[in-house]
Amino acid sequence: MDVLTRLELIRNVGEEIITLEELRQLLETNPKPVAYDGFEPSGLAPIHFGIYRAINLKDLIKAGVHFKLFLADWHAWVNNKMGGDLERIRKVGEYFVEVWRAAGIDMSKVELVWASDICSKREYWKKMIIIGKNTTIKRATRALTIMGRKEGEMQEVAQYLYPLMQAADIFELDVDICQLGLDQRRANILAREVAERMKWKRPVAVHHHMLMGLQGKKQAEGFETNAEMDAEISSKMSKSRPESAIFVHDSFNEIKAKIAKAYCSPKDVDNNPMLEYCKYIIFRHFKEMKIERPAKFGGDISFGNYKELEDAFRTGELHPADLKNAVAIYLDKIVEPIRNHFERNKKSRELYEFVRQQEITR
């Protein structure tokens, strides 16, 4: 596969790339660059994790990237997820692996790395101290939004280690590409700044879009150093806010009921979670999207790409109720194989039941 094709596959994943020229140079000089994304094992899997992330990962693998899936169990511990119980966190991590497998990711083509395996190394902590000595308190505080918390929620000194740990992960894993969500941007920028200062390998940052939660766009909540980005982080779908999310275990009736209550104002294409799910999930699974409507409302209509759908919604040709019905049907088609995997596989079902019974803490 030529460089331009590989570059285009990665551009499909990244809403923001820092920088595009560095990425191009990397692909020209490295046939198998290393990328990573990290996940705190902390609850049941919503569609942004189990489906959208899997789509992006498949494109990166296709582009010839060696991907490291980083199970950030120690980070979840620091962040007090699952009540701060490391054993429970580890069990949830095992469940995460099953979700990726059920979503169709060829696990033989990715490398699984647990934070607990690298955090025990002396070199890891040395890197973290070096990063800390090259980071001001103000700079570290600004980066704390990567934990999904607001400034007033920070109660423990250990939480201030989190940005330093995440930057140390990047160098310990020896990655060329940080392929995380936009909500992790500040940690990646911190790592790039330290790399520049210390003459370490500077990673390219490829940030994917943050899928909006069912409630639509919310006002910025957090440190508000970048109002637009903080608003996107505050609006994202989150497993710790079940009312904002569709989960990969939801039945069709549950998906339909959640979507029926979701925000979807007529002609609003800028603040519409239904359109987001079409753009980032449905049209990356299907070549066409058919909307079923009664004849008195114009009859069935099909769209061959997302732009056609968006234009029809913007003009009012497509009604929110009809869009919602279609989104529920298509999401259910995508979720069904994952749901079936956990229903039919004994080990997977046991992991799901374990996670389902846990109290999800933020």
Q: Which residue, among 104, 8, 16, has the nearest Cα to 54 in the 3D structure?
A: 104
Q: Between 152 and 14, where is the model more confident?
A: 14
- Please check whether residue 232 lies inside any domain of the structure: no
Q: Count of residues for the chain? A: 362
- Please check whether residue 216 lies inside any domain of the structure: no
Domain count, the chain: 2
Could you tell me if 17 and 84 lie in one domain? yes
Residue 67 has a CB neighbour count (10 Å cut-off) of 22
Could you tell me if 50 and 186 lie in one domain? yes
d(CA 305, CA 134): 47
Range scoring the smallest mean pLDDT among 31-35, 221-225, 313-317 = 221-225
The pLDDT value recorded for residue 232 is 57
Could you tell me if 79 and 189 lie in one domain? yes
Could you tell me if 247 and 176 lie in one domain? no
Q: What residues contact 156, with CB distance under 8 A and at least 6 apart?
A: 80
CATH no. for residue 282?
Answer: 1.10.240.10
Residue 75 contacts residue 165 (beta carbons within 8 Å): yes
Q: pLDDT tens-digit profile of 220-259?
A: 555 455 555 555 555 565 555 666 799 999 999 999 999 9
Could you tell me if 282 and 198 lie in one domain? no
Given CA atoms 147, 263, 206, 233 in this order, what sign does their dihedral have? Answer: negative
- Indicate whether 83 pLDDT > 90: no
Provide the whole-model pTM.
0.88
Could you tell me if 164 and 299 lie in one domain? no
User: What is the full DSSP assignment across 253-297?
Assistant: HHHHHHHHHS---TT--SS-HHHHHHHHTGGGT-S-EEE---GGG
Could you tell me if 182 and 37 lie in one domain? yes
- Please check whether residue 234 lies inside any domain of the structure: no
Return the C-alpha torsion angle 12, 18, 22, 23, nearest 10: -20
- Please check whether residue 176 lies inside any domain of the structure: yes
Buried b (16+ CB within 10 A) or exposed e, 251-278: eeeebbebbeebbbeeebeeebbbbbbb
- Please check whether residue 333 lies inside any domain of the structure: yes
Range scoring the smallest mean pLDDT among 36-45, 49-58, 216-225 = 216-225
The pLDDT value recorded for residue 296 is 85
Range scoring the smallest mean pLDDT among 78-87, 112-121, 154-163, 288-297 = 154-163
Alpha-helical regions (H) of the chain:
3-13, 20-29, 47, 53-62, 73-78, 86-102, 115-118, 122-133, 137-142, 162-172, 185-198, 227-235, 252-261, 273-280, 306-315, 320-344, 346-356
d(CA 184, CA 157): 20
The pLDDT value recorded for residue 1 is 84
Could you tell me if 318 and 268 lie in one domain? yes
Q: pLDDT tens-digit profile of 265-308?
A: 999 999 999 999 999 999 999 999 999 998 888 899 999 999 99
Task: Report the chain's mean pLDDT, rounded to a whole number.
Answer: 90
- Write out 184-225 in H/E/C secondary structure: HHHHHHHHHHHHHHHCCCCCEEEEECCCECCCCCCCCCCCCC
Could you tell me if 32 and 147 lie in one domain? yes
The pLDDT value recorded for residue 220 is 57
Could you tell me if 43 and 169 lie in one domain? yes
- Please check whether residue 214 lies inside any domain of the structure: no
The pLDDT value recorded for residue 141 is 84
Could you tell me if 34 and 93 lie in one domain? yes
340: containing domain: 240-356
CATH no. for residue 168?
Answer: 3.40.50.620
